Structure 1
């Protein structure tokens, strides 16, 4: 069950998968740059924008479960093509939505569904099926590093597009760029899908879900990923406005988000590589504890462009570094047959956290006039996540039913 099931070459897999994640994650990491231009142009509150992005994260999480199921059954290619089309439609809709409802429908629902089909759960399913277990965590680290590079590359590009073209035309250009995912997805077509050859399953979907949700380590990984979503989406969406409220220029926020992406290239690669030699739960616990410390120091230190850049670089090392060890632990515990689906469920927890982080940021800002309380919540949750990852058991689950080998 842990052997690759098809014949995609490793360079092809990493090149195409990495490029897709670079585009998909790179575009969405810059959405915070649109908060003030859109709310000022439309006369909306920050909570209106934040609610739409919160719905986006929730729709991403819910759709991710079904995208994972379809990718496990039909292959990643078809799911990614559909995701690319939805991405383009959502970005154009985001540009021209005249009401908060239509803005939420496009920026929230459509883009959330698009990201479900073009990001980690689907790409990691392909990696799990095509990369041997002894290289799987490393390969997942490469894919996650690509997403971080996308943030480093795309956030300054999006800031430049906004300044040169205006916020509406910038979104249209990004919609066209999202369609590049279609030819890249062609490189991830798997021979065992869509060829008429049945893919042998030792578990049904129902059996896999029942097994996972009864297993305490699965629940603990979900709890930790909830915190990851809360922290990174709150910071990614609200930090640009937080810094402008403190009197810093918009360029400081753009450079800070880019630095997060740049340094997370190294952080995610390191987390994936270390996952081949260390217990993944210990890597995860360290990341969450370290985030709590870094946020605390950032709030205590005098605010300046230099302190922002130091915070961004340090937080960047920890940003998406949770992704490779979390998904590699899932594959190690449960096997690869239903990996995209199980990854989708864990990611749903991440996105519920994202919903809470981005929405609470806007909600509490509108009521308190500042983000202080949300920063404190992010610190407390970091400590909580570090603690809940320590009891995770990473050994392959022992099944009582007859099977060729443990999952």
Structure 2
């Protein structure tokens, strides 16, 4: 007979390792916006080149997430995360040692894009979902998602101080060294598949599997709504510090805002995960998108001030990554957890198409007009669309697959 206490201890080990992995992966990428102007001033990399590199990072992440999720389901999410950690280190190191527009595209756009696809919240919550019981699943996935915010809270000021003291290239190298922490955490998280009896479809079968899942109306709506999350968050992560600088705000405000987002999302992700245990996750997701969109609308309409910006960051932070455990919980309720990594990856691909458009279109806009003013109404409309599609979903109409 298995010892329940040992199982609980094992679950917490997986959750903590997953939180550390997500903390490094998500925290580092949240600092990219801080480098937008300094790399241009120091190394001659234009803001549009770096902005498009971050946009490509988002698109690459989305393209690989279904594949890395499926590999994690089959071989263990920890093995996949270890490979991603090495790619993260190499991509950041390349730009730090040879800063240019070309290395930014290759290092940040492609290498770290693949790296975060292996190590980000989409990969780690699948491992946690397999380790936790159905009753624990929402809360535990929320805790793992909150790990990404711990990294943001710690690494944003670390990056800002490094830029000020040693320059942008050296600070980017320091981010690469921080990514080494992913390697030992990945070994603990899920080195072997947790459900070896699950069907092991080949990767070549992934497109057919994705099409079958998307034929289900409500999974398709959930996937469509996730576009808005990527669109809004990629724009804010990449361009909020530059927007504040263009509005005449002090440099410290951009870094502090991103740090506040991370701090407030630590309890926020956990609470959102618990909320998914109480009400249908899609209903909660619609509420998150509505609150986020209202906050964006008020920030866009009111004059930009220091205290208003900090309040905006705190509100956003409370729901920043709350969509991750809720989306994963919605998928698990419909399909079980055996293929959770692959199915979340399918949904997340649309998230990252949104991220690519949000970061890339804004970079082109500011390069042409010198302002982000025309982008805020688009952010509002996209958010309202996400509210509508999530609230149009229905509850699962068939029994959940075995966990």
TM-score (norm 2): 0.93
Alpha-carbon contact 2:128-2:144 (below 8 Å) kept: no
Alignment of 1:243-322 (within 5 A): 243-322=244-323
Question: Which consecutive residues of structure 2, in runs of 5 or more, have no partner in the other structure?
Answer: none
Cα deviation, residue 200, structure 1 = 3.3
1:39-118 equivalences under 5 Å are: 39-118=40-119
- Residue in 2 aligned with 1:402? none
Query: How is 1:149-160 mapped onto 2 (pairs within 5 angstroms)?
Result: 149-160=150-161
In structure 2, C-alpha distance between the alignment counterparts of 1:151 and 1:97, rounded to whole Å: 25
Which region of structure 1 is more displaced relative to structure 2, 167-176 or 95-104? Answer: 95-104
**Residues of 2 paired with 1:267 and 1:142: CA distance?**
9
**Residues 203, 110 of structure 1: alpha-carbon distance in 2 compared, 3 angstrom cutoff:** closer
Aligned length: 395
Over aligned residue pairs, what C-alpha RMSD do you find?
2.1
Deviation at 1:198, TM superposition (A): 4.9
Q: Does 1:201 align with 2:202?
A: no
Distance 1:396 1:134 in 2: 20
Distance in 2 between residues matched to 1:394 and 1:94, nearest whole Å: 46
More helix by share: 2
Provide the C-alpha distance between the structure 2 equivalents of 1:292 and 1:243, rounded to a whole number of angstroms. Answer: 19
Give the match's secondary structure for 1:392: coil
* Distance in 1, Cα, partners of 2:249 & 2:292: 23
Query: 1:377 — aligned with what?
Result: 378
Distance 1:203 1:158, change over 3 A: same
Aligned mates of 1:294, 1:354 — CA distance in 2: 19
How far apart in 2 are the matches of 1:383 and 1:258? 26
User: Matched residues in 1 for 2:362 and 2:304: separation?
Assistant: 19
1:200/1:268 CA distance change after superposition, 3 Å: closer
Tell me if 1:226 matches 2:219. Answer: no
Q: Runs (4+) of structure 1 moved beyond 6 Å?
A: none
SS for the counterpart of 2:136 is: helix
**1: CA distance, partners of 2:370 / 2:331:** 41
Contact 1:334 1:397 in 2 (8 A): no
Paired with 1:32 and 1:243, the residues of 2 have a C-alpha distance of: 12
**TM-score by structure 1 length?**
0.92
